[in-house]
Chain A
Amino acid sequence: MSFGLPPLKVKPEHDDNGVKIQENTFGIRDPMIAGLGATRPKLGFVHPLEASEKNYHLNEEKLNLAMLRNVQGLHAPMKITMERKFASKVGRLPFLPSSNLQHDVLTGRYIDIGFEDILNTRDLCETAGQPHAVIERSLGLL
């Protein structure tokens, strides 16, 4: 009997961000946009934990919502996912930083401290995208 639960350990194939890589007529990415080294395919994951860590919270939510669906029916995860979707679409432009407070409250991460709050935080990041390009990317034009 299948309960529809996702695997506890995230498998490497399990990352689909849903974003399509824009290729031009030659099957490579436009070097004017992506840089000269973009044709070399990404070598995959160098560390066994990388795949797991990338999708850890997503997978945890999937597991919990699958269990919730089994217990309460389809409406429960649907409503919860809907609320979270609203919270992730706060009225900020994509290149502006957001504290994600509403999303954190809904997922319960506002009373949690983990390595995500200590290591490599957003305010210490030295790279930033050019605003126009970031918006064009989010709209799918770039």
Chain B
Amino acid sequence: MASALVPEIPVPGFSFENFQRNAFLAQKGFPAPKATKTGTTIVGIIYADGVILGADTRATENTVVSDKNCQKIHYLASNMYCCGAGTAADTEMTTQSVASQLELQRLHTGRTVPVETAATLLKRMLFRYQGHIGAALVLGGVDRTGPHIYCIYPHGSVDKLPYATMGSGSLAAMAVFEAGWKRDMNEEEGKKLVRDAIAAGIFNDLGSGSNVDLCVIRNTGPAQYLRTYEEANVKGKKQGSYRYALGTTAVLKQRVIPLEVESILVRPTEAFQPMDVEPQTSR
């Protein structure tokens, strides 16, 4: 319904203008570059005093590691954090968007926001985009009804569980949980269990690696983000030096070309220079 005089003003939000062009280019042999994924292991458990979230720190682009130490545990509110697996940008933007909506909600109602609100906001947004936003999340937090762990899939379905794992390393981590999780663990046991689950993902899954990050959210008190709780994959030290000593290769000929300084000009810059603008004509 557009014309040259009355062009269609694009609606705010996502624009699908280039989709057809991209499909045409891909067909002609110029596919779009692959997005950075976080083939991941992310986990969350409920223990006696709250929840513990854990994640590895590797981000991949197909078969190459693009970030050896990325942050997969995202801040949502002071009482809840969210681990993200899938397309890295999608998890980042989704969690930031929901974090701002939660802050608005907290200011509007004047209370700490329950974890269920965050789960509902996330699942509505992901269902709206029908899975095209590739974000698989483990949401964990504590509110006045107690500790909660939700796992949210990219198409918008939600599971509420006492322990959850997501990502490519989720099977390895879930095996550890199924063997070792029990009700009302204390903090040390809980941290060790989460660390073991992430380590299982790191060592048995190619998409996960590097370090273990933990986040402990207690019923009372602020959340504790333990960035790099443990460095599971330490790079090996080189045992010798492979540098060659000066003089290993003989010098046959030498020619020195000096740079002659022709002139030196010192120009002081003024502290304030007015911009050149055309004189405004009065209407």
A joins B in a complex: yes
Question: Could you tell me which A residues sit within 8 Å of B by CB distance?
Answer: 9, 17, 19, 21, 33-35, 38, 43, 45-50, 52-54, 56, 111-122, 125, 127-130, 133-134, 137, 142
Are A119 and B14 in contact, with the CB atoms below 8 A? yes
* Other-chain contact of A46, B12, B23, B128 (Cβ < 8 Å): B23
Are A115 and B13 in contact, with the CB atoms below 8 A? yes
CA distance A133 to B6 in the complex (A): 6
Are A46 and B19 in contact, with the CB atoms below 8 A? yes
Name the B residues within 8 Å of A142 (CB-CB).
5-6
**Chain B: interface size category:** 20 to 34
Are A137 and B129 in contact, with the CB atoms below 8 A? no
Top 10 nearest A-B pairs by Cβ distance? A133-B5, A116-B12, A116-B13, A34-B3, A46-B20, A47-B16, A129-B6, A47-B19, A127-B7, A113-B100
CA distance A56 to B127 in the complex (A): 12
Give min CB distance, A25 to chain B, whole Å.
Answer: 18
Query: In the complex, given contacts A115-B97, A119-B14, A134-B6, what are 10 additional A-B residue pairs having Cβ atoms less than 8 angstroms apart?
Result: A47-B19, A53-B16, A112-B101, A113-B104, A114-B97, A117-B12, A119-B15, A120-B14, A122-B9, A129-B6
Asked whether A115 and B104 contact (CB < 8 A) given A127-B9, A130-B5, the answer is no
CA distance A21 to B1 in the complex (A): 7
Name the A residues within 8 Å of B130 (CB-CB).
9, 48-49, 52
Of all chain B residues, the one with the shortest Cβ separation from A130 is: B5
* Other-chain contact of A119, B2, B13, B19, B23 (Cβ < 8 Å): B13
Name the A residues within 8 Å of B13 (CB-CB).
53, 114-116, 119-120
Name the B residues within 8 Å of A130 (CB-CB).
5-6
CA distance A53 to B14 in the complex (A): 8
Name the B residues within 8 Å of A56 (CB-CB).
128
CA distance A38 to B3 in the complex (A): 8
Which secondary structure characterizes the binding site on chain B? loop
Q: Which of B1-56 touch A at CB < 8 Å?
A: 1-7, 9-16, 19-20, 23
Which secondary structure characterizes the binding site on chain A? loop
Give min CB distance, A17 to chain B, whole Å.
Answer: 7
Question: Could you tell me which B residues sit within 8 Å of A by CB distance?
Answer: 1-7, 9-16, 19-20, 23, 97, 100-101, 104-105, 108, 125, 128-130, 132
Are A49 and B132 in contact, with the CB atoms below 8 A? yes
Name the A residues within 8 Å of B16 (CB-CB).
45-47, 49-50, 53
Are A129 and B9 in contact, with the CB atoms below 8 A? yes
Are B9 and A125 in contact, with the CB atoms below 8 A? yes
Give min CB distance, B90 to chain A, whole Å.
Answer: 12
Give min CB distance, B125 to chain A, whole Å.
Answer: 8
Of all chain A residues, the one with the shortest Cβ separation from B13 is: A116
Asked whether A111 and B104 contact (CB < 8 A) given A46-B20, A52-B130, A133-B5, the answer is yes
Name the A residues within 8 Å of B132 (CB-CB).
49
Q: What are 23 A-B pairs at a CB distance below 8 A?
A: A46-B23, A48-B130, A49-B14, A49-B16, A50-B16, A53-B13, A53-B14, A56-B128, A111-B104, A113-B97, A113-B100, A114-B97, A115-B14, A119-B12, A119-B15, A120-B11, A125-B9, A125-B10, A127-B10, A128-B7, A129-B6, A129-B7, A134-B6
CA distance A46 to B20 in the complex (A): 6
Name the A residues within 8 Å of B9 (CB-CB).
122, 125, 127-129
CA distance A54 to B1 in the complex (A): 15
CA distance A132 to B178 in the complex (A): 70
Give min CB distance, A58 to chain B, whole Å.
Answer: 12
CA distance A113 to B94 in the complex (A): 11
CA distance A129 to B97 in the complex (A): 32
Name the A residues within 8 Å of B12 (CB-CB).
116-117, 119-122
